[in-house]
Each structure stands twice: as structure tokens, then as C-alpha cells.
Chain A
């Protein structure tokens, strides 16, 4: 299996092939071969031995970004493979309409604008509250509010689109 892995912003070409013995893997990272002994302790928790060095690799099913915990390190990664379950997310272009997304799950406390309001860049649009903390979401650019998808009292998920600004 061949993969393009992006780890902490660096792109790597990786080939991973199961070895003759169960649990052994032949891995090529940018043409450097390594041999790994991997044991899945339980879903998401891998005991990995490479050259006698033991690692605990924990796969974090973070809904926003795939992350590995390795010791104390929290490492963001992406896999780009047509058959992969993790498709690289492409970030939208900066031009045209922009969406205002919830930065955290919570409840809408106030909507500070109406549909059609002209807003300046960094002007407050919506206030969300979670865990006793209020957070004012600001417009990422100057423009007109063309859509308002939430009302006070609504519960929103992290990343949910709350408004569209043209």
C-alpha cells in the first residue's frame, strides 16, 4: 500500500507491506526501509517496536483533524490515498462568499446582526456559550450577511456553518 502522508506539515511518501510474520511490517519512508513490529492492544492503541525502541502510538479519532499521540506529543497528520478513509481536506479559497463557523460546540446566546446587515471585518456577528464561557464570533471579512442559519437558543456543533458573508 502506497501513501502520501502529511505529518506536522511535512509530506512523506510511504509504502507499507505486511511482513511474513503476523504483526511485522516492511515500511519505506521516502525510500528508507524500516521494519516495524506492531501490536494493536485495543482499537486506536498501537504498541510499536522499531529497532528495539518501544513506542505507544494512540490514534485520536478527533472529528476535526486526525491526530496521533506519541508519548507526550500530539501529532497532526493527513493521508492522501484514493482508497484512504481520510481524504485530505482542501481549504476553501479566500475569495467569494465566506462562511462563519462555530469555533466550539455550544449554544447560540445572541445574534448581533440581521440578514442583509453590512459588516466590517472583525465585527462581532454571533455569540456562542459553552461551559460558562461566552465567545463572540467575528466576521472574517467586510461584506454583507446573506445567510443566517442559527437563532438564539440553537445548539451548534464545532465547525457548523452559522452565517454566510458575501
Chain B
């Protein structure tokens, strides 16, 4: 049995995992960089240890430091969350050597599935459909040209070590292949330290649909239905939902069984996700396997009624899966919006900074997984995700309307966010009719945003509100909250003295 879990991550996912540990009666150890001393995961854990400076390479990516903290704090397991060290086979091995349980798959399975070319070979062995193309890195331009000629254009060049759309190039005709090949190679080399590039047939207007799997250490593996993540911008997921509006019982079973075959063939354990592209004729093609908990796992939790982090921990403790495939029943519909600190009006530029106002939604069917609070300064050093807002309802239409209701309750001030983008998508007719594919959002963003001008009543209320804030400011000073500065100058001598004292007593 595990007793104490170190969470090698930050932000909402660290908090999510700490909560699960609490519920299971496990002690928790948080780690933090200098940029995260005031982060919520530090506050929520039983223990918190400093890792290093803000840069991830000097903190959350330092497996050696994390293992040292595990040893000193007496943690017997490490949960890596997603990102950072979660798919690093070397780190999983180092944990094993140190006698600390890595809550995830064994290093061997991560290696077998970590590179996209090796994963394609594993897919072939598991008898799983994949896009036509190469299963090894391309040695030369000549090989690329020959492969492309064989499978037919358009084709897609991809980095074997890739992710997040880097090292990817679509090629429509032979004349464009040489320059795209060189560009993809150098981009992959820069982003991943490996220039290995392979080639596959480009699927037109695909949907991105993925299968959640869960495998225990006794050879049992189940699939927990699918998630549709077709709403993407630059290959980054923006909205995810479960189930997919286009996946019926039969397709779900075929995709699920294929995913389970792949996981079992690779000796996979714990939670994992097999990603597919699905074309307009409902053919599905293996894309890659993510050997970790996914950002969008909550939508699966809501429609299956399962807690994936609980199950991850129980599997890591050596327990058998407490249910079989036929026990997995999907109920209702869940949608997740990834709320980012970015400015949709300014090319989605990152918008780190202090959250000066925060009004969070609630009520029936709303779940918010986040690590933010009013006054928190969103650091510039990490991913700009602020929060995951998830709506659950009996049907897709109701889930969409519930999400729109929650979005109207949500106010994040001080920084720019993509909250309004979700309103636009969720009101869009194509989205509501589930006519989506991975190019859907880019097309929507290119079309003119009709926007919605304030109604006369709202405009009048805005003017009245602004005038009253001005009048309150003139009368009462900053108690109305009108001053932008959080660290405003002390307004009285005793406050100044108290503040001084506090400064001096702090280390």
C-alpha cells in the first residue's frame, strides 16, 4: 500500500491529484519553483518542497531533484501529472531504481509507444488500422519522394518525437516535398533534439477522437469510451467532449478493442489514451498513444462516473481493476473548455499577469478544475492554461447550454482570456450540429465575428456603473476596488509599521 505521494507537477493538475490523494487517505508532497511559491498546489499539500528557479529546466524537469525530495520526504510514489516528466521513460526508470513507485506505465511501454514511428510499428503488430505511410524515420529525400509517390498526395510529414504540431508539414505535390522535408527536419531537431521525420497520408477533414484505456498490473485492460477533441487551434485542443456525437456503439467497440489490443501488446499499465483520426466515412486511423493522464480526463470521468486518478493510484498499488468492460456504461454528455491566459483579439498572444478579479461559476453540472485565485500572478514561465471548465448534462444540447450559462457567470479580470471564444464556438450552428473536424476552429476564426453589441439596457447599465465607480472612488478612495494596483501604498502609519514588521520577520 502507498502512504505518501509526491506530485511532480504544478497548477490545476497538481491540485487535482492532491485532492484524489486526500480522498484516499494518502499524504501529499508538493514541489514548486520560485515562480510558484504562492501557487494553490503548495497550499493544498501536506508538505511542500522548493525545487529551484522558475525555468522548468531548472525545476519541474529536474528528475534528480524530485527524486531527492521524494527520498528526504519519505514519499513512496510519484504522480507525474501531464507534461513535464510524465512521458519521460528515463525518469520512470530512475524512480524504479530508487524504489519509488511511478504512477504510470512501465518505462518499457513508454519507450515502445513514445516515438511515433515505433508506435506505428506497435500498431501494425496489434493489427490496428493506421494511416498509410512509413513506419521508420525517412533516411533521405529520395525515400520521402518514393514513399509519397506510393501512398499518393496530399501527405503529411511528422516528427517521430513530435507533439503539439511542431515538425509537421502538409505537402500537396511532389515539388513542395524537398523544402517541407528540410523544414520539418530542422524544426523537429530544434524542438525535440531529434530530426527523425516520417511520412503519412493526409486525411482530409479528420475528426480527432481518442479512447481512454485503463490497465492493471495483472493483464486486465478496459476502454472507457471516447473523447472527441476536434476543436483545435494550431493542433492544440480547445474543447473536448464525451461521448463523440458521431461515434455509435459499433464504432466505439471497434476503436476501444483496437486500443486495448495495442495497450496489452505493449505491456501497458495504468491510464493511457490512444488517439485516432476518423474520416468522413467513419474509418479510423491510429495517430499516437499518450502514456499518461490527459488534460481532458474529466469529461470521461463525468460520463463513466469513475475517478481516473483514484484508479491510477489503486492500480499503482497493485490492485486489480474493480470492474470489467461490460460494467462500463456511458451516461449523459460532458464538455470541457480549456481556459487560457491569451488574447483572442491579438493573435492569441499569451497574457500572463495578476488576476485582479475572479468570479467563478458553479451550480448543477458544473465542475471547474483550476489552480487560480483572485490576486494570483499567472507566471510567464509555463503553459498558459488557467482552468478547465466542464459541463455535464443528460444530452449534448443541454451540456452546451449549461456551459454557456456557466461562461456568463465567469469573470476573470486583470489578464485577457479566451472565455469569449468559447461563447462564440458554443453558439455556432456547425458546432451545435457537431459538424466539426480538426480544421473547424481555424475556419471559424477566419470568418467574421458578428460579435454581439451590448443591448441598450446593458449599455446604460455600463455607463451608470462606470459613473458610480467614479463617484465611489472620489468619495471613499480605493475601497471600491477601482485602483489597478494590488500592492497599493499603505494608507496609514500603523499599516506601514505593520507592513514593515512583516517584511523584517520574513526570511
Contact = CB atoms under 8 A, between A and B. Distances in A.
| B is bound to A | yes
A66 B352 CA distance: 17
A27 B353 contact: no
Interface in B362-400: 380-384
B411 A58 contact: yes
A83 B462 contact: no
Interface in A107-146: 107, 130-133, 135
Contacts of B73: none
**What is the size category of the interface that chain B forms with chain A?**
35 or more
B353 A57 contact: no
A151 interface: no
Contact of B380 (A25, A58, A63, A131): A131
Interface stretch (B84-92, B93-101, B194-202, B481-489): B481-489
Given A62-B414, A104-B351, A46 B469 contact: yes
Interface string B454-469: 1001111111111111
A27 B467 contact: yes
B466 A50 contact: no
A106 to B, nearest CB: 5
A87 interface: no
B479 interface: yes
Contact of A131 (B341, B457, B469, B470): B341
A16 B468 contact: yes
A77 B457 contact: no
Given A25-B468, A79-B466, A131-B380, A58 B460 contact: no
A62 B484 contact: yes
A61 B484 contact: yes
A59 B227 CA distance: 37
B69 to A, nearest CB: 25
Given A70-B462, A106-B380, A45 B470 contact: no
Overall SS of chain A's interface: strand
Contacts of B470: 1, 3, 16, 79, 81, 84, 86
A11 to B, nearest CB: 11
A97 interface: no
Given A3-B467, A61-B484, A77-B466, A44 B413 contact: yes
Contact of B465 (A43, A70, A158): A70
Contacts of A86: 470
B423 A72 contact: yes
Nearest to A60: B413
B175 interface: no
B356 interface: yes
Interface string A76-108: 010101011110000000000000000111110
A60 B458 contact: no
Contact of B471 (A16, A55, A106): A16
A70 B469 contact: no
Given A44-B413, A62-B413, A55 B350 contact: no
Given A16-B471, A131-B384, A72 B420 contact: yes
A36 B357 contact: no
Contacts of B468: 16, 25, 27, 36, 38, 46, 48
B167 to A, nearest CB: 15
Contacts of B324: none
Nearest to A158: B353
B418 interface: no
Given A107-B380, A131-B380, A7 B466 contact: yes
A73 B420 CA distance: 9
Contact of A57 (B352, B382, B465, B478): B465
Contacts of A103: 346, 349
B461 A50 contact: yes
B480 A40 contact: yes
Contacts of B359: 45, 58
Contacts of B485: 61
A77 B471 CA distance: 15
Contacts of A8: 454, 459
Interface of B: 341-342, 346, 349-353, 356-357, 359, 380-384, 407-408, 411, 413-414, 420, 423, 452, 454, 457-474, 478-486
18 contacts: A3-B467, A7-B459, A16-B470, A27-B468, A42-B481, A48-B465, A57-B461, A57-B469, A58-B411, A59-B469, A61-B483, A70-B465, A71-B458, A103-B349, A105-B353, A106-B352, A106-B380, A131-B381
Given A62-B356, A73-B452, A132-B384, 15 more contacts: A16-B464, A16-B468, A25-B464, A27-B464, A27-B468, A44-B356, A50-B457, A50-B464, A55-B465, A63-B353, A71-B458, A75-B454, A75-B462, A103-B346, A130-B380
Closest 7 pairs (CB-CB, A-B): A43-B481, A57-B465, A44-B481, A60-B413, A131-B350, A61-B484, A55-B461
